[in-house]
Structure 1
Amino acid sequence: MEVKIGVQNAARELSVETDQEPDDVLKSLESSISDETVFSITDEKGRTVAVPADKVAYLYFTADTGRKVGFGLVAGN
């Protein structure tokens, strides 16, 4: 699953591919906000992205659909 993280006062969002469930990611963010600490998430390759929790503007979850290859479906004769 891809998680896009919007950060306040940043022009671009962060994009992380992770195996974590959306509920787990939200719980981690909520915990970081209440503890006034850094929110961190680890991607599928073991790399960690960390953002001050109070600067997270939004999280956007997308399903991992893979890459589309080709020019579309060809109609049968």
Structure 2
Amino acid sequence: MCAAYSAVDRATLTVRRDIAVEVKIGVQHAPREIVLESGQSAEEVERAVADALAGKAQLLSLSDDKGRKVLVPADRIAYVEIGEPATRRVGFGAL
């Protein structure tokens, strides 16, 4: 982790690793949707989508929980489905 982060930033990053939001993006003229688990909050994802659709950005840029970036041209977005934040479960047990 970068030393430039403050203690508050480090705490926020730690919490976000434990919570994932599933995002599905439909792209015009593409047979499959893009599905990713994002460490961003549902509000941050919604704000990024709204900015892209409003013309403030030409690309919708989201990052997944593994640090990869997904870039989608704003004019090609058909729909975006944002799931509820889910806590990740680790270990063995009955579901």
TM-score class normalised by the smaller sequence:
0.7 to 0.9
Which residues of 2 match residues 1-77 of structure 1 at below 5 A? 1-33=21-53, 34-63=55-84, 64=86
Runs of 4+ in 1 over 4 A off after TM superposition: none
Q: Secondary structure at the match of 1:10?
A: coil
CA contact (8 A) 1:36 1:54 kept: no
TM-score for the superposition, normalised by structure 1: 0.74
Q: Which deviations, in whole Å up to 9, do the C-alpha atoms of 1:17-66 show, x marking residues without a partner?
A: 01212221121122123225111100011000100011111111224476
Structure 1, unmatched stretches of 5+, are 73-77
Aligned pair count reads 70
Which deviates more from structure 2 when the two are superposed, residues 3-12 or residues 30-39? 30-39
TM-score for the superposition, normalised by structure 2: 0.62
Identity of aligned residues (%): 39
Q: Secondary structure at the match of 1:11?
A: coil
Instruction: Compute the RMSD of aligned alpha carbons.
Output: 2.1
Choose between structure 1 and 2: higher helix proportion: 2
Which deviates more from structure 2 when the two are superposed, residues 27-36 or residues 53-62? 27-36
